[in-house]
């Protein structure tokens, strides 16, 4: 063979090889399949990583009622400061009295450090409130925002005066406008004059909270939650629902009513991880069940409360029956559950519906779901859960009950959990899986084998944990996207999914990866956040069958690391195709849309990065974000065809109007 023929033969061979590598995918747009639930993609809140106080909850003062076990934790006192415990609030009795320091040149007062500092933003107003009384009839305090470490002339950069009149407790308010942005400010209070003053529930909130609520959420974090378009919000946690002992369990009735009288609770995440220990991690309950329901409403998500089943954390009390409530003493726990449903849905003539109305929400919250237990397993759980199921079914038959399959994604306890939940006929089973890359890449057909006649699936906590590199780097987020095609493909059995954990303070984290990170004035959304958002905003209404050579596209042999699923949005007539290339090589694809004809234009949303270890940060919050684009679709013989080449390690969505 001469040189010219050899060159031609090699070129032809290369062309044929290139053609052979094109992956042909078929989407049947003519037949809409299973309904994709509105709750399919949502959010899971747990007070870990300073997610509530110091995070989503807008309060800037730590230990505002001096109820921490060390009463002045978070505070620095100077001069004549006395701690007292006969205050106006029964469950938060402590307060301080500031007295004359003994000389006109001396000072009495307090400084609060906030949560890793107090964050203030230039031009924003802050609402200082305090319950106070003046033993001698009148008194005055000065309230300041300060930079204690400044090299400038003055520590204070914003000051307001507040006059206290009368010997009875009253609530006072003054607003302070910050002339600067400061991530590490402090709040200082001076006694101004000789007359003493008593101070209780010292609070500082941004005026500009989410939806401008006085006891509201930090605006930027709450807005990020709303921007994900979640279908469900699970709260108040995971493990905090249980507590390491029942004394520290989350009790919803302690979290409603006036915030001044909500008792402090010890957060089990204070001490769970010795290698990341935070001795000042408690729960003020300022962000309570009323606020969770309200937040769910504000962001358009179905509320999903989780209640204690009468058990402490099994991890920390293995095989210890004495750690849990005896089965014959469960009635108060079951009543808490029934009362919560009444609090959420009861009319204003009911005991708990009236309490909701008194808090400012006379209309019901329209609760549809309730979960009982978190990561429990074995007969300890099954026996107790049955009693809750029976009681809820008897009084509220329309409420959907969610049980748990335990902490494992497979194995003996997992199987036993599912068997028990089927017997008890719960509506959904909460599965948790924090697993390595290999698990996510090999679990693309997980739900195909599930029993379609049993309970539905709630993937309540999951995240890809890179082996030896547990942070929000790009690669693991891409594998989460790949796995999620299986959630979507099996929407007839999977009705809810929530990534976990949701929030983390950059200076106070104990667990990672996490969805959203923040300091006191900034935040960034992780790549995993954008993966979740891409699914949530493009979930469609019904599943469409999508195959390659007649098989689901789930990283199977011969599919070269491709994962894919498709849905249709009947309301807009849009076909939505999701393709993830987990291969380190680019992949040509040809997507045949049967049921659509002619040339079309496809809108695209692409998440890609060449550095697998890259991540978004506070300084580079948009380093890796989805990019919008478009491409032309070709007319096939009896269909419309999307021909594309997907870059290595890339998630791409195609949207085509029928």
Annotated catalytic sites, by residue? 375
Helix (H) or strand (E) holding 380: helix 378-395
Question: Rounded distance, CA 409 to CA 435, Å?
Answer: 9
Residues with Cβ within 8 Å of residue 561, at least 6 apart in sequence: 555, 581, 582, 583, 587
Q: Which of 225, 132, 210, 129 is nearest to 170 (CA)?
A: 132
**Four-residue CA torsion sign, 343, 348, 349, 351:** positive
Q: Which among 20, 16, 156 has a CA at the least distance from the CA of 588? A: 20
Contact in structure between 518 and 506 (CB atoms under 8 Å) = yes
Pair type for strands 400-404 and 369-372: parallel
**φ and ψ at 314, to 5 degrees?**
-75, -25
CA dist., res. 642 & res. 333, Å (int): 56
Radius of gyration for the alpha carbons in the chain, expressed in angstroms and rounded: 28
Cα–Cα dist 401/420, whole Å: 14
Tokens coding 298: 């504000």
Q: Which phi-psi region, left, alpha or beta, contains residue 573 (left: φ > 0; alpha: ψ -120 to 50)?
A: left
Structure token digits, residue 612: 């697998």
In degrees and rounded to multiples of 5, residue 135 shows phi and psi of: -55, -30
Contact between 458 and 497 (Cβ < 8 Å): yes
- What DSSP line would sit under 53-92, residue for residue? IIIIB----SSTTS-SSSTTTTEEEESEEEEES--S-TTS
Bridge partner list, 567: 543, 576
Is residue 580 helix, strand or coil? strand
* C-alpha to C-alpha distance for 453 and 421, rounded to whole angstroms: 13
Buried-state track 468-504, b at ≥16 Cβ within 10 A, e below 16: eebebbbbbbbbbbbbbbbbbbbbbbbbbbbbbbbbb
Are 498 and 459 in contact by the 8 Å Cβ rule? The answer is: yes
Cα separation, 266 vs 93, in Å, equals 17
Phi-psi region of 584 (alpha: psi -120 to 50; beta: other; left: phi over 0): alpha
For residue 53, the Cα-to-chain-centroid distance in whole angstroms is 14
**Residue whose tokens read 């409360």:** 305
Q: Which two tokens stand for residue 639?
A: 């269909």
Number of residues assigned to the chain? 658
Cα–Cα separations (whole angstroms), residue 85 to 67, 97, 133: 10, 11, 15
């Amino acid at each position: 063979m001469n040189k010219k023929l050899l060159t031609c033969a090699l070129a032809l061979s290369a062309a044929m090889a290139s053609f052979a590598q094109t992956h042909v995918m078929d989407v049947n747009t003519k037949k809409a399949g299973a309904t994709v639930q509105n709750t399919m993609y949502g959010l899971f809140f747990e007070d870990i990583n300073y997610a509530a106080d110091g995070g989503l909850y807008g309060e800037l003062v730590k230990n505002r009622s001096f109820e921490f076990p060390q009463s002045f934790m978070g505070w620095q006192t100077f001069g004549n400061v006395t701690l007292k415990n006969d205050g106006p609030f029964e469950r938060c009795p402590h307060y301080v009295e500031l007295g004359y320091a003994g000389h006109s040149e001396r000072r009495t007062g307090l400084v609060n450090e906030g949560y890793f500092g107090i964050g203030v933003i230039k031009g924003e107003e802050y609402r200082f409130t305090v319950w106070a009384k003046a033993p001698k009839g009148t008194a005055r305090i000065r309230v300041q925002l300060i930079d204690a470490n400044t090299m400038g002339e003055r520590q204070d950069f914003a000051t307001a005066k507040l006059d206290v009149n009368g010997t009875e407790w009253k609530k006072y308010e003054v607003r302070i406008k910050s002339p600067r942005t400061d991530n590490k400010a402090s709040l200082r209070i001076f006694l101004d004059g000789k007359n003493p003053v008593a101070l209780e529930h010292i609070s500082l909130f941004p005026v500009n909270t989410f939806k401008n609520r006085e006891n509201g959420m930090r605006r930027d974090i709450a807005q990020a939650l709303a921007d994900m378009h979640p279908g469900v919000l699970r709260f108040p946690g995971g493990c905090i629902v249980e507590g390491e002992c029942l004394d520290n369990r989350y009790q919803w009735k302690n979290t409603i009513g006036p915030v001044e009288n909500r008792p402090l609770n010890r957060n089990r995440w204070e001490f769970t991880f010795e290698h990341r220990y935070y001795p000042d991690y408690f729960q003020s309950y300022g962000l309570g069940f009323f606020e969770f329901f309200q937040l769910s409403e504000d962001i358009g998500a179905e509320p999903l409360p989780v209640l204690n089943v009468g058990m402490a954390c099994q991890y920390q009390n293995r095989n210890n029956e004495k750690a849990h409530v005896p089965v014959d003493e469960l009635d108060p726990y079951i009543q808490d559950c029934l009362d919560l449903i009444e609090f959420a849905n009861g009319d204003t003539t009911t005991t708990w519906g009236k309490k909701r109305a008194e808090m400012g929400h006379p209309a019901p919250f329209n609760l549809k779901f309730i979960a009982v237990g978190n990561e429990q397993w074995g007969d300890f759980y099954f026996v107790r859960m049955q009693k809750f199921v029976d009681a809820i079914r008897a009084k509220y038959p329309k409420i959907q009950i969610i049980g748990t399959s335990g902490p494992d994604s497979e194995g003996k306890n997992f199987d036993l959990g599912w068997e028990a939940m089927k017997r008890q006929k719960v509506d959904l089973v909460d599965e948790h899986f924090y697993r390595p890359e290999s698990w996510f890449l090999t679990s693309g057909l997980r739900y195909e084998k599930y029993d379609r006649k049993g309970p539905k699936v709630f993937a309540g906590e999951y995240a890809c944990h890179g082996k030896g590199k547990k942070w929000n780097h790009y690669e693991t987020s891409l594998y989460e996207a790949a796995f999620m095609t299986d959630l979507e493909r099996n929407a007839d059995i999977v009705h809810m999914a929530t990534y976990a954990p949701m929030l983390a303070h950059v200076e106070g984290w104990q667990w990672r990866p996490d969805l959203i990170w923040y300091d006191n004035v900034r935040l960034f959304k992780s790549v995993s956040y954008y993966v979740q958002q891409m699914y949530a905003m493009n979930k469609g209404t019904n599943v469409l069958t999508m195959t390659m050579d007649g098989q689901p596209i789930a990283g199977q042999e011969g599919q070269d690391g491709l994962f894919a699923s498709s849905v249709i949005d009947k309301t807009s007539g849009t076909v939505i195709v999701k393709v993830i290339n987990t291969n380190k090589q680019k992949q040509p694809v040809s997507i045949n849309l049967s049921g659509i004809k002619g040339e079309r234009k496809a809108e695209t949303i692409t998440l890609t990065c060449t550095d697998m270890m890259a991540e978004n940060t506070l300084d580079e919050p948009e380093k890796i974000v989805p990019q919008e684009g478009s491409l032309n679709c070709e007319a096939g013989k009896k269909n419309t065809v999307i021909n594309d080449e997907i870059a290595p390690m890339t998630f791409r969505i195609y949207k085509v109007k029928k």
